[in-house]
Amino acid sequence: QSALTQPASVSGSPGQSITISCTGTSSDVGGSNQVSWYQHHPGKAPRAMIYDVTKRPSGVSNRFSGSKSGNTASLTISGLQADDEADYYCLSLTTTTTWVFGGGTKLTVL
Amino acid sequence: EVQLVESGGGLVQPGGSLRISCAASEFIFRNYWMHWVRQAPGKGLEWVSFIKNDGTFTTFADSVKGRFTISRDNAKNTMYLQMNSLRADDTAVYYCATGGDNYYDSWGQGTLVTVSS
C-alpha cells in the first residue's frame, strides 16, 4: 500500500485551468472505479469534489471534473478562483478492499 | 445533519496502548460503513481502517495491521479504534469518516494522538 503519486504542488492564475494527476497501479487506481478527490482547507474537514472517477457530489461546481486513463486519475479545475487554493488528495479503493490516499497536492492560485 | 465526534486522544508512551472513539448521531449508524483516517503533523491524509456496517468485515493499512483493531457498537452508535504497540510515527490527528455513496461526505473534528516519551 504505497501512497498514490501526486505532484507536490501546482499553480495557476484566476480563470485558468489546472490538472492534478494521481498515479497508482493496477491494484488500485487502474483496477478501481472508486477514485475520489478531496479538497482540504487547513483546519476544516476535507470535502469530496469528485467520486467514482467522474461524478460530482451535489453542490460541487461543474468547474471540477475527473477522469482516468490506465493507472492515472486526474482532477481538472477550470476557471480557477481564489478559494480553490487548498490541498487536494486523491483516494482509491484497492483490489484487497483497502483504501489509499495520494500524497496530496498544494494548489496555489497566483 | 450527520454528526461524528471523536474522543479519547492524548499523550501515550511508545509501546503503549490507547482506544479512541467516534460517536455518531443524526443518521442511521448501523446502515453505514465507517472509516478511520489520520493526518500526521505537516503530512497528508492516510487511510487507516474500515469496518462494514454490521461489523463483520474489517481492513487495515499495512502500517497499522496487527497493532490496531477496529470495532463498533451499533446499539451505542459508536465506533472504536484500539491502538496497541504505538510508535512515534502513529502521532497524528485521527478522524472518523463515512458516506453513503463511494466517498466520505461526513467527517469528525478529529482527536490528537501523540506518541512520545
Question: What one-character DSSP code corresponds to residue A80?
Answer: -
Are A52 and A58 a contacting pair, CB within 8 Å? Answer: no
Furthest-apart CA atoms within chain B: distance in Å:
41
Are A3 and A25 a contacting pair, CB within 8 Å? Answer: no
pLDDT at residue B99 in the model: 87
Q: What is the pLDDT of residues B48-74, one digit of tens each?
A: 999 999 999 999 999 999 999 999 999
Q: What is each CA distance from B40 to A86, B16, B91, B114, in whole angstroms?
A: 17, 18, 6, 10
- Classified as helix, coil or strand, B50 is strand
Query: What is the band of A69 on the pLDDT scale with cuts at 50, 70, 90?
Result: very high
What are the grid coordinates assigned to B48, written together? 487507516
What are the grid coordinates assigned to A32, written together? 478501481
CB contact under 8 A, A51 and B102: yes
Distance of CA B81 to the CA centre of its chain: 5
Query: What is the band of A27 on the pLDDT scale with cuts at 50, 70, 90?
Result: very high
**For residues B78 and A41, what is the distance between their CA atoms, to the nearest angstrom?**
27
Q: What is the pLDDT of residues B1-23, one digit of tens each?
A: 899 999 999 999 999 999 999 99
Taking CA–CA distances from A5, the nearest residue in chain B reads B44
CB contact under 8 A, A99 and B101: no
**Which amino acid is located at A53 in the chain?**
V
Give all strands of the β-sheet with B18-25 in edge-to-edge order.
B3-7, B18-25, B78-83, B68-73
Are A66 and A50 a contacting pair, CB within 8 Å? Answer: yes
Are A76 and A56 a contacting pair, CB within 8 Å? Answer: no
**For residues A108 and B110, what is the distance between their CA atoms, to the nearest angstrom?**
26
Please give the share of chain B, as a percent, with pLDDT higher than 70. 100
**For residues B79 and B84, what is the distance between their CA atoms, to the nearest angstrom?**
17
Are A58 and A42 a contacting pair, CB within 8 Å? Answer: no
pLDDT at residue B35 in the model: 97
Mutate to test the interface with A, among B47, B51, B68 (most CBs of A within 10 A): B47
Q: Flag whether pLDDT at A19 surpasses 90.
A: yes
The Cα of A52 is separated from the nearest Cα of chain B by a number of Å equal to 7
Average pLDDT over chain B reads 96
